Chain A
Amino acid sequence: MIVFDRVSKVYPDSSVALEEISLSIEPKEFVSIVGPSGAGKTTLLKLFLAEERPTQGTVFYEAVNVHSLDKKAINDFRRKVGMVFQDFRLLSNKTVYENIAFTMEAAGRTDEEIETDVPHVLELVDLMPKIWNFPRELSGGEKQRVAIARALVNEPDIIIADEPTGNLDPANTYDVVQILKKINDLGRTVILTTHNKGIIDSLHKRVVAMERGKIVRDDKVGKYDV
């Protein structure tokens, strides 16, 4: 369970990114966070991953304040969260296999586990034929599927996808959303931020709408438009 308890974030230039946000996300939930650019969606995710500290309020994961964790505990915590970004953020000088293996290595998994799990997770996103390619040799959709495979491989409890379809064409967008749904069906929490109206309307899942650092709407089965 993820809980944001009256969380505010004010940047040093006194611009307010978040204002008294209270939000809780149940395990195995699929939550879409929508809103225009600058609404505070990405800041919310950064606070959850302890990339940034809140100015006020507390962020809990399983009843633990994530900002009270020490460095090592933050690393362990981040391994329970799989991240997918709009710009993919693959390691450009590593092959598809190595990009995913790296995450497992960082988590201290053995070579044997890596050798069996990486092909397995690549099959899940249908990218086995590209296993030895470098990111520059892949299309946008393929890169995003590698990123999803990387996010999945350590069997995280939560998948966070920050505008994962922002750089993709409709066909690839559809694929990525289907994969995220499948992940949710397999019992993981998925948090998705997006601008894409079509995605939200087709999902029939919970939608949290944000505007200027505040939550303006929270529907169990939502649509994009207000």
Chain B
Amino acid sequence: MKIENWKLKIKRVIRTGFFNFWRNGTVSLASVLVMTVTLLVVGSLSFFNAILDTSLAELQNKIDINVTFVTTAEETDILNIKHSLESLPEVLLVTYTSREEALTAFKERHANDQSILAALEELGENPLGATLNIKARDPSQYGSVAEFLESDDTLSSGKITVIDHVNYFQNKTAIDRLTKIINSADTLGLALTAFLIIVSILIAFNTIRLTIYIAREEISVMRLVGASTSYIQGPFVILGILYGLTAAGVTLLGFLAITYWLGSVMASFLPNFNLFSYYLRHFLEIALIIIVSGVVIGGFSSILAIRKYLKI
């Protein structure tokens, strides 16, 4: 009997929630639209992070150190330095380019420039030194790698310096600045999205509070005919959840169009990243975040907003 009662109650609460959603069409439309904006902001966090991560990864890929050796340096000395570099925990990858390879690459690069090729021919011998290209695990670690290269033992072989130049010292300012920008972009982005999310949740909460304010008279009537708290509150919670679910649906469809459009717009400056295919790849994950956010924001706003009118 008790369980039957509960079932009946839940059935009625859900039915009333749906009725209220449908019958207050304009109010529902407004609430769903506001909620959609909120969920668009919440969802954008995921895209914003993906774009930021990809651009940062691309930027970081472009930072490296090139060590150019003098032409007389022995290959074994260079390989020794390469080994000791590789043993450093900060170093991710060291690529060795021999003098011959450097020459071939140079010739290829200037295949259309006859004067340079002729000058090279005139010289008779290979003027290019071998190079080591070093990539660190983190941009901030290039400094210590460069310091390591500066220390006497590695720079020289038998008191004769084998390193011609290290381009870190020429690029140092640029690298430092880039490192700073990358770090602050990360924090700034996070703070900005957190702020936007809080603002839009407050707006959604206020909208729902308004719809309940409109119904305050009815709530007091319900109270006076002896309706229990859960029986009055229930339909409003269902209403809030329905706003959230509908808004989540609209948001997910909206992102389909937005990412499709942005995907082609952004192709020029982020060639390796397509927002649309990112969205499709992570659809389940993003859909889950948006649907759960919608339901939680809608449901909780209702519970909080209605409490004020239940005191009678």
Task: Please report A residues at the B interface, Cβ cutoff 8 Å.
Answer: 49, 51, 71-72, 75-79, 83, 89-94, 102-103, 105-108, 110-111, 150, 154
Given A91-B218, A93-B20, is A106 in contact with B225 using a C-beta cutoff of 8 Å? yes
A72 with B228: CB separation less than 8 A: yes
Q: A105 to B222, alpha carbons, bound, how many Å?
A: 11
Name the one of B5, B218, B225 contacting A103, with C-beta atoms under 8 angstroms.
B225
Name the one of A49, A93, A111, A154 contacting B224, with C-beta atoms under 8 angstroms.
A49
Q: A105 to B8, alpha carbons, bound, how many Å?
A: 9
B224 with A105: CB separation less than 8 A: no
Name the one of B9, B225, B227 contacting A150, with C-beta atoms under 8 angstroms.
B225
- B192 CB to nearest A CB, Å: 40
A106 with B227: CB separation less than 8 A: yes
Name the one of B5, B20, B23 contacting A108, with C-beta atoms under 8 angstroms.
B5
Q: Which residue of A is nearest B13, CB measured? A: A105
Q: B12: CB under 8 A from chain A?
A: yes
19 further contact pairs, Cβ within 8 A, besides A75-B228, A78-B224, A93-B24: A51-B224, A75-B226, A76-B226, A78-B223, A78-B225, A78-B226, A83-B224, A83-B225, A89-B220, A92-B218, A94-B19, A102-B227, A105-B12, A106-B227, A108-B8, A108-B9, A110-B8, A150-B225, A154-B225
Q: A37 to B225, alpha carbons, bound, how many Å?
A: 25
Q: Which residue of B is nearest A71, CB measured? A: B229
* 9 nearest A-B pairs in the assembled complex, by CB-CB distance: A106-B227, A79-B226, A78-B226, A103-B225, A93-B23, A75-B226, A89-B221, A91-B218, A105-B12
Task: Please report B residues at the A interface, Cβ cutoff 8 Å.
Answer: 5, 8-9, 12, 19-20, 23-24, 217-218, 220-229, 231, 312
Please name all residues of chain A whose beta carbon is closer than 8 Å to the beta carbon of B221 when the two chains form the complex: 89-91
Q: A75 to B312, alpha carbons, bound, how many Å?
A: 11
Name the one of A89, A91, A107, A110 contacting B226, with C-beta atoms under 8 angstroms.
A107
Q: A107 to B225, alpha carbons, bound, how many Å?
A: 8
Q: A188 to B220, alpha carbons, bound, how many Å?
A: 24
B222 with A106: CB separation less than 8 A: yes
Q: A148 to B209, alpha carbons, bound, how many Å?
A: 31
Q: A220 to B223, alpha carbons, bound, how many Å?
A: 33
Q: A83 to B218, alpha carbons, bound, how many Å?
A: 14
Q: A90 to B218, alpha carbons, bound, how many Å?
A: 8
Q: A16 to B101, alpha carbons, bound, how many Å?
A: 102
20 contacts between A and B (CB under 8 A): A49-B224, A51-B224, A72-B228, A75-B227, A76-B226, A77-B226, A78-B225, A79-B226, A83-B224, A83-B225, A89-B217, A91-B222, A93-B19, A93-B24, A103-B226, A106-B225, A106-B227, A106-B231, A108-B8, A111-B8
Q: A154 to B226, alpha carbons, bound, how many Å?
A: 11
Please name all residues of chain B whose beta carbon is closer than 8 Å to the beta carbon of A71 when the two chains form the complex: 229
Q: A75 to B218, alpha carbons, bound, how many Å?
A: 16
Q: A87 to B5, alpha carbons, bound, how many Å?
A: 33
Q: A90 to B215, alpha carbons, bound, how many Å?
A: 11
Please name all residues of chain B whose beta carbon is closer than 8 Å to the beta carbon of A111 when the two chains form the complex: 8
Please name all residues of chain A whose beta carbon is closer than 8 Å to the beta carbon of B224 when the two chains form the complex: 49, 51, 78, 83
Please name all residues of chain A whose beta carbon is closer than 8 Å to the beta carbon of B231 when the two chains form the complex: 105-106
Please name all residues of chain A whose beta carbon is closer than 8 Å to the beta carbon of B5 when the two chains form the complex: 108
Please name all residues of chain A whose beta carbon is closer than 8 Å to the beta carbon of B12 when the two chains form the complex: 105
Q: A108 to B221, alpha carbons, bound, how many Å?
A: 17
- A161 CB to nearest B CB, Å: 13
A102 with B222: CB separation less than 8 A: yes
Q: A150 to B222, alpha carbons, bound, how many Å?
A: 12
